Amino acid sequence: MAVGGGDSSGSSGEDPNPRLYATNPSPAAATDQPAEEGTENGVSSIETIAHKIQESLSLNKRHRFWETQPVGQFKDLGDSSLPEGPIEPPTLLSEVKKEPYNLPALYEWTTCDIDEDATAAEVYNLLTNNYVEDDENMFRFNYSKEFLRWALRPPGYFKSWHIGVRVKASKKLVGFITGVPARIRVRQDVVRMAEVNFLCVHKKLRSKRLAPVLIKEVTRRIHLEDIWQAAYTAGVVLPTPIATCQYWHRSLNPKKLIDVGFSRLGARMTMSRTIRLYKLPASPVTPGFRKMELRDIPAVTRLLREDLSRFVVAPDLDELDVEHWLLPREAVVDSFLVESPETHEITDFCSFYTLPSSILNNSNYSTLKAAYSYYNVATKTSLLQLMNDALTVAKQKEYDVFNALDVMENESFLKELKFGPGDGMLHYYLYNYRLRNGMKPSELGLVLL
């Protein structure tokens, strides 16, 4: 199972490890004005993207590594003779390699116990200084220790899947990759998978080819648990995305966003007009809108399971999953619901997680506080109103920007609620599982951190 944001084949003519550490898109945004009616917000079909890429690459630059892996191949797109489902059958567990892969002589493997404060601080520092940046090097994701513990310890997690590389002499942590277990439904089949994330190599060591070894090692450890499929995302096109999505950004603190270069003033716009444009109500307007509590888990689980059943690919969540992923945690994940004042029925649900970015090289600001839309279900309240309430509480909590992918039904509210399209795409992939055709973002019910 190979996963990440770049071609780990060592193809000639390319950066040997282009953004392989980047399993999320650039944190940067676009013009600080909402998309006008008629703005092109769709993306090319997967087939079109694939053909363009294959045409533009000479033979010696193609994804030689990925073309040897059990992943959907560009050449097979639209081939109706190929069955959907696992590409390769599981091998016997006795045949899975028992020993870790070899590292260069100066380095050694370590299992990162994220419960230990010292280790959590090491992982935090590695990611904070070396993980995803925008193309202009103005912003870098800044995962908190609390966020990492949430992301890496879902029900049934394996500590052995939290993998680090240390320098033998100094014990400094210089590489990292993780997997967590998940049940993901693809059409009618619920499949045990790993979600692979946080692939990061120290900037000074990217010529050492550590990333491919990290990928192979997490694959080996996942296989040892008799799991043979995985889901992952990347900001670059590899063979072959099951869906290509776009981030949209809604300004909550437009003056700060413009001051730090995250966005810019729209044409013929003044700062005061821009601030007025993005003004939100003082409080949510939906009667019965409140924070989710522990007692709400069964009702929220029912709502989510019913809603997610409509999508081609979506998580299969039970009450333990909902408790872990969606019960509010300060500065990590926020969840709100609508409880009917009359019947006390839970009818609607919205959530967002917190992922700030460090602001680089700015004397006035150090952190951009960003909310990311997570899972939302609207049955009695319109999704438009529900998400406006979500924006309102995010503004109350002093977030600077609210981000959303155009997955699920999100496209229906983006323009109306003054989101603007970002400049990065996020590609979703499945390992060792074939879908004959790519999906529209609206057919995807999965949000990966």
Which DSSP symbol is given to 432? S
Which DSSP symbol is given to 71? S
Catalytic status, residue 449: yes
Of 60, 81, 51, 57, nearest to 240 (Cα)? 51
Q: Which two structure tokens, joined as six digits, stand for 346? A: 């839970």
Report the distance separating Cα 2 and Cα 60, nearest Å. Answer: 20
CA angle, 437 then 409 then 53, to 5° = 35
Report the distance separating Cα 393 and Cα 383, nearest Å. Answer: 15
Residue matched to tokens 């013009």: 31
CA dihedral defined by 166, 167, 173, 179, rounded to 10 degrees?
Answer: -30
Of 358, 400, 361, nearest to 250 (Cα)? 400
Report the distance separating Cα 338 and Cα 335, nearest Å. Answer: 11
Report the distance separating Cα 19 and Cα 276, nearest Å. Answer: 38
Three-state DSSP string of 96-143? CCCCCCCCCCCEEEEECCCCCHHHHHHHHHHHHHHCCECCCCCEEECC
Report the distance separating Cα 415 and Cα 372, nearest Å. Answer: 17
Q: Which two structure tokens, joined as six digits, stand for 425? A: 């795409």
Q: Which of 126, 210, 383, 449 is catalytic?
A: 449
Type and span of the H or E element at 54 = helix 46-56
Of 153, 131, 156, nearest to 141 (Cα)? 131
CA angle, 248 then 305 then 409, to 5° = 25
Of 25, 19, 439, 5, nearest to 246 (Cα)? 25
Q: Which two structure tokens, joined as six digits, stand for 393? A: 């509480």
E-state strands within 301-354: 313-315, 333-339, 346-354
Report the distance separating Cα 382 and Cα 347, nearest Å. Answer: 11
CA dihedral sign of residues 198, 204, 207, 208: negative
Residue matched to tokens 């193809």: 11
Indicate which residues carry an active-site annotation.
Answer: 449
